[in-house]
Structure 1
Amino acid sequence: MKAIVHTHYGSPDVLQLKEVERPTPQDHEVLVQVHAASVNAADWHLLRGKPFLMRLMGFGLLKPKNKILGAAMAGRVEAVGRNVTQLQPGDEIFGDLTTCGWGTFAEYVCAREDAVALKPANVTFEQAAAVPLAAVTALQGLRAKGQIKPGQKVLIHGAGGGVGTFAVQIAKSFGAEVTGVCSTRNVDMVHSIGADQVIDYTQEDFTKNGQRYDLILAVNGYHSILEYRRALSPRGMYVMVGGSNAHLFQAMLLGPLISMIGRQKMGSMGVAKPNQKDLVFMKELLEAGKVFPVIDRRYPLRETAEAIRYLEKGHAQGKVVITVA
């Protein structure tokens, strides 16, 4: 099979399209013919081996342990292991393989049965591939960490990106009044996916306009934690999803302190925890038409390096997808 392989850390230039052996599913795994995979920030972090802490977390100290990147995918089950009970060959599925070996930038990949779910019938493989990592990250940030409630005023900072576009729609599905913050080029799009108000950050600083929000989800946000605090209601909650090391340390060190001395709660979500239950929840939102993946660009498998370069620039409108089959 064809796969995008990297044998050492570096820029997208180290990626190579190679012929490699097709994997064989273990007892609790399925073999999937990959139709599409999405590119996520985790891919280029692993490609470059940065931050260095990731290497110490089992991804390979001097060279990458997982030589084929890609976590979020959609495809068709080709074969099943002997202990698989929920799936059969021919099933169309989608899932996040960050906990079971990665490897979706390839024509075939093996996945644990509990890492995937049946693909929603009303979306394409490309659209389904955009969902597993980004949408589940948004869901967990809003529901598990942010404890979102109907009627709340929710602000999504970074509303035009992959996680942000899902966060806007998921927050609306929970009955929140949603404000999206994005760049000028994304204003119309963020309105179109359901945001009640949209703030163009090049024209207005939401931390200084006097508005207060019950929940702020900051996706790769750039304000200081004290600036975010200024935009929170007296009992509001701030959740950081991604961002620079400086902002991460602020959330980890100052967040708990602020939360202890006052009624506002502030902190970092950390890494999303892939699970089948959240994936099925997203499937139901997709089937109900409450969430629709926003895809900026599509690249063939051989142009995976270009896809990662584009995502690294930080200007993607929604998701970047690799078309495999």
Structure 2
Amino acid sequence: MFPSGSSLAFPASLSSILGHAHRDHSEKEVTPVRRKLECCAKFGHSTPMDVTLVTLDRPAGQTSPKKPTRLQQLLRINRVSPVLSDLFMASLPPVQQVWLQKRRGDHTKSIELNTQAPIPALEPGHVLVRVRAVALNPLGVKTMSTIPSFARKFPTMLENDLCGEILNPNDSEFQIGDEVFGMSTFEDCLKKGRGALGQYILVKTENLAHKPKNITADEAAGITLAGLTAYQGLVDQCKITAGQRLFINGGNSTVGRFAIQIAKNLGAYVVTSCSGENALKVKSFGADEIIDYKRVDLPSYLVKNYTSNPFDAIYDVVGNILNFFPRSAPVLNPKGLFLTISIDLPKGLGSKMRFLFLLFNVAVRPTWLGGVNRKWKFVTTKSNKTQLNTLAKLASEEKLRVDVDSTYGFDQAGLFAAFDRMKTNKACGKIVVHVP
């Protein structure tokens, strides 16, 4: 449950546990804990970790629930008591390491490692998580230099997606030691300066799910933002159902890979685009047809080959709306939706103004003025616990696969290399940073 080398340090004996308990709790609260500890000692469990495992209905040395032992039957408990939870918290180090963005700009000029950051105090609706792995997202890299200082809080802890362990469940459905994955939301980053690239962070319970046992922490860390973007785009906005036809532009991207798998689980027929060298990999995610975008003009190819059998939805993961949407009408059913994930604005005020004019001319102009007679939207991703649990279930059933492109250390050299890899746009899978 807790990997070797964990920085968690516990008092050495059960008597010291009671000493800590008397300091912060009344005799009425401590008495039942003393009885439980005495019972544990009789059965040879003499460390706080043993007691915690027993309290969780997990015999010492085991990491998953088993049939209750004689000791557990005597204790008649299946959750950590508030006293033991507080003792667990008292064993944490006084400070932690976090990566902070201090100012707007490229990562080489704007971020710093703070080795003396305080461990956050609990808040209602939040749990304390010991982070083990953080997956980078293109959004995090882009917003470092694009969002103005007045629109966000500085300093800001970096990134969103994470996997770790519950340290304080704070009366939630989680228990101490549960392995979880999820995210610190983009809103929390902007308004509160809370991200994922730290050792101990507060996360809203609604933004976490139990990690499937059959995937690694690195894989779990890469699910949340990309997985929810794919799921919400297909289910909430495109409303894909069994038997429908879907085109995904950018099948080898992380969102594209998730979208292919989710669409196939929904029973859709999936056509996607990627480069020829990645075709076999993308095919392994379940795509029915693959188009090598490097060998054809993609919009023209689609019009030539799919006009007679158009799509019920087009999910543009690449963000190629200016080139693609104006020519999408012949291959998109009249009631279908053209959904795009993002638009990369060019640099320079003049270039941005010209781009926005073209965007209006292409995507906003009404049909009676020559606009495209099809509906389009930007995909918007929101935290959704039910959908996060759905993604976890798909992963546990091996119906949702996460590929890891590369992993990096938490030091400056490692983190900078991770961001550099992200900027190449050549990663085939998630880029993950390990948290010590």
Q: Normalization by structure 1: what TM-score?
A: 0.88
CA 1:178–1:215 in 2, change beyond 3 Å: closer, same or farther?
same
Show the counterpart of 2:409: 300
Show the counterpart of 2:329: 229
Counterpart contact for 2:261–2:285, Cα < 8 Å? yes
Show the counterpart of 1:25: 122
Show the counterpart of 1:283: 392
Q: Distance in 2 between matches of 1:264 and 1:143?
A: 19
Show the counterpart of 2:152: 59
Q: How does 1:243-322 map to 2 (within 5 A)?
A: 243-245=343-345, 246=355, 250=359, 254=363, 257=366, 264-269=374-379, 271-302=380-411, 303-322=414-433
Is the deviation greater in 127-136 or in 283-292? 283-292
Give 5+ residue unaligned stretches, structure 1: none
Q: How does 1:41-120 map to 2 (within 5 A)?
A: 41-48=138-145, 50-52=146-148, 58-60=151-153, 65-81=154-170, 84-98=171-185, 99-101=187-189, 102-120=194-212
**Letter aligned with residue 158 of structure 2:** L
**Letter aligned with residue 424 of structure 2:** K
- 1:16 aligns to 2:112 (yes or no): yes
Q: Distance in 2 between matches of 1:97 and 1:151?
A: 35
Deviation of residue 5 (structure 1)?
Answer: 1.9
Classify the secondary structure of the residue corresponding to 2:157. Answer: coil
Q: Distance in 1 between matches of 2:327 and 2:129?
A: 46
Classify the secondary structure of the residue corresponding to 1:273. Answer: coil
CA 1:255–1:184 in 2, change beyond 3 Å: closer, same or farther?
farther
Classify the secondary structure of the residue corresponding to 2:156. Answer: coil
By percentage of residues, which structure has more helix?
2
Deviation of residue 300 (structure 1)?
Answer: 1.5
Q: Distance in 2 between matches of 1:247 and 1:160?
A: 28
Q: How does 1:118-133 map to 2 (within 5 A)?
A: 118-133=210-225
Classify the secondary structure of the residue corresponding to 1:207. Answer: helix
Counterpart contact for 2:135–2:222, Cα < 8 Å? yes
Q: Normalization by structure 2: what TM-score?
A: 0.67
Show the counterpart of 2:349: none
Counterpart contact for 2:128–2:200, Cα < 8 Å? yes
- Out of 230, 235, 239, the position equivalent to 1:143 is 235
Classify the secondary structure of the residue corresponding to 1:148. Answer: coil
- 1:165 aligns to 2:257 (yes or no): yes
Counterpart contact for 1:170–1:291, Cα < 8 Å? yes
Deviation of residue 137 (structure 1)?
Answer: 0.5
Is the radius of gyration larger for structure 1 or structure 2?
A: 2
Q: How does 1:169-180 map to 2 (within 5 A)?
A: 169-180=261-272
Counterpart contact for 1:29–1:111, Cα < 8 Å? yes
Q: Deviations over 1:190-210 (max 9, x none)?
A: 011111111111012331122
Q: Distance in 2 between matches of 1:251 and 1:292?
A: 38
Show the counterpart of 2:312: 214
Q: Deviations over 1:135-185 (max 9, x none)?
A: 000111111111111111111111111211111111111111111211233
Counterpart contact for 2:206–2:383, Cα < 8 Å? no
Classify the secondary structure of the residue corresponding to 1:154. Answer: strand
What percentage of residue pairs aligned between the two structures are identical?
26
Counterpart contact for 1:122–1:287, Cα < 8 Å? yes
Q: Distance in 2 between matches of 1:156 and 1:259?
A: 29
Over the aligned positions, Cα root-mean-square deviation in angstroms equals: 2.5
Is the deviation greater in 304-313 or in 138-147? 304-313
Q: How many residues align?
A: 314
Classify the secondary structure of the residue corresponding to 1:128. Answer: helix
Counterpart contact for 1:182–1:201, Cα < 8 Å? yes
Counterpart contact for 1:299–1:323, Cα < 8 Å? yes
Classify the secondary structure of the residue corresponding to 2:258. Answer: helix
